[in-house]
């Protein structure tokens, strides 16, 4: 049985395409775009979606930041099918048995079953089985239907929100004129946080349930028999990224407009 093998030219072309590159090719492509692999996110599909969203967006714009974050956190979203949206002048209510009061403040994507485009809403309040959306629109989310018939669809609860500090009054607003802008990203996806790091003296082993964190160790004590640690087997030395990976905060800071600061909260 003859099996035709792909040509070297075809394979080389695949290695340069975001949607097709895999493994070392995808990591090399990420570095070439100046968008290294995000630390603690070693899933190729996540990295591929991150590259696509970021590369084909207008750098520094709110829409670009949203698309980038959506790609990074997409695997942490909750998808709830057969949800129901009831329009209301005070904000539409979306109902589903799996919603809880912890969903208050979340951003949600509502996709009606009638084929109309998906919309992003803000859940200003929540209780068991339902959320109440914000009736107004902002830069980040749309206005829900305030009147009309009840509809059914698919609800996705996003794993992040974006906010900016807002002045409480005109006096505070005047004081903020000369202060730098700040974007605050709040997320429930703590798996993207950096691993914990703590001081471990000498070669003292980790004592469960202590997590596998970075260890600050003396690399220049003059004793060749002293363990230098291992990133797979431990102890886990504290190193700056040197393998084509970077932290989430440093990656996102490079995507913001000049003069805009970033703060990530969990």
Q: Where are the domains of the chain?
A: 10-75, 78-158
Give the dihedral sign, CA 254/260/263/264: negative
Q: Which long-range contacts (CB under 8 A, 24 or more apart) does 119-123 make?
A: 119/144, 120/158, 121/92, 121/94, 122/161, 123/94
pLDDT band at 42 (very low <50, low <70, confident <90, very high): low
* Nearest Cα to Cα of residue 256 among 186, 194, 182, 190: 182
| Most confident of the following: 1-5, 191-195, 211-215 | 1-5
Q: How far apart are CA 74 and CA 87, in angstroms?
A: 27
44-55 vs 23-32: helix crossing angle, rounded to 10: 30
Residue bearing the bigger pLDDT, 86 or 36:
86
The pLDDT of residue 60 is 85
Mean pLDDT of 18-44: 83
Q: Is residue 219 over pLDDT 60?
A: no
Residue bearing the bigger pLDDT, 221 or 61:
61
The pLDDT of residue 235 is 60
Q: Does domain 78-158 have CATH number 1.20.120?
A: no
**pTM of the full predicted structure?**
0.75
The pLDDT of residue 242 is 47
């Amino acid at each position: 049985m003859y099996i035709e093998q792909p040509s070297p030219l075809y394979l080389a072309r695949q290695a340069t395409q975001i949607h097709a590159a895999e493994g070392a090719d995808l990591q090399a492509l990420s570095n070439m775009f100046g968008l290294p692999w995000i630390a603690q996110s070693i899933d190729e599909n996540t990295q591929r979606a991150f590259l696509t969203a970021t590369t084909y967006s207008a750098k520094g714009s709110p829409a670009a930041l949203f698309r980038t974050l959506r790609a990074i956190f997409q695997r942490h979203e909750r998808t709830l099918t057969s949800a129901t949206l009831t329009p209301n002048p005070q904000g539409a209510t979306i109902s589903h048995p799996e919603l809880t009061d912890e969903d208050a403040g979340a951003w949600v994507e509502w996709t009606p079953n009638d084929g109309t485009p998906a919309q992003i809403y803000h859940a200003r309040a929540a209780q068991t089985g339902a959320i109440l959306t914000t009736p107004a629109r902002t830069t980040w989310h749309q206005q829900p239907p305030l009147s009309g018939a009840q509809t059914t669809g698919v609800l996705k609860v996003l794993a992040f929100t974006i906010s900016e500090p807002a002045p409480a009054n005109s006096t505070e607003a005047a004081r903020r004129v000369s202060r730098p802008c700040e974007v605050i990203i709040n997320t429930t996806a703590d798996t993207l946080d950096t691993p914990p790091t703590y001081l471990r003296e000498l070669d003292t082993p980790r004592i469960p349930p202590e997590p596998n964190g970075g260890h600050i160790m003396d690399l220049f004590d003059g004793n060749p028999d002293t363990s230098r640690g291992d990133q797979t087997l431990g102890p886990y030395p504290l190193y700056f990224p040197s393998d084509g990976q970077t932290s989430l905060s440093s990656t996102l800071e490079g995507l913001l407009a000049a003069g805009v600061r970033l703060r990530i909260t969990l």
